[in-house]
Amino acid sequence: MYTFEVDDNNAVRIFREGQEAPVIFQPDWPNGTPWADKAEATSWAELYVRSFEDAEVAELPGDSPEEPTRARPEAPEVPVAE
């Protein structure tokens, strides 16, 4: 299970249950654009955690405010040995 926090500078920290250090520190959008506000950073973090914990979530967090979400790529089919 994962949790997150957004600090007063809108930096996102995502934590794995039972760990004190964040596994993700995201001070801005992945492309470097600053978060517009705490709500934008929170929305990104919520989707990131959901997509991490649930492989059925169709959208992943995007890299920029222009593309805040992106489609989850389909996993390739792996042939089963007979």
Distances, alpha carbon 59 to alpha carbons 2, 7, 19, 31, 75, in Å: 18, 25, 26, 18, 14
pLDDT tens digits in sequence order for the chain, 82 residues long: 999 999 999 999 999 999 999 999 999 999 999 999 999 999 999 999 999 899 888 899 999 999 999 998 887 888 888 7
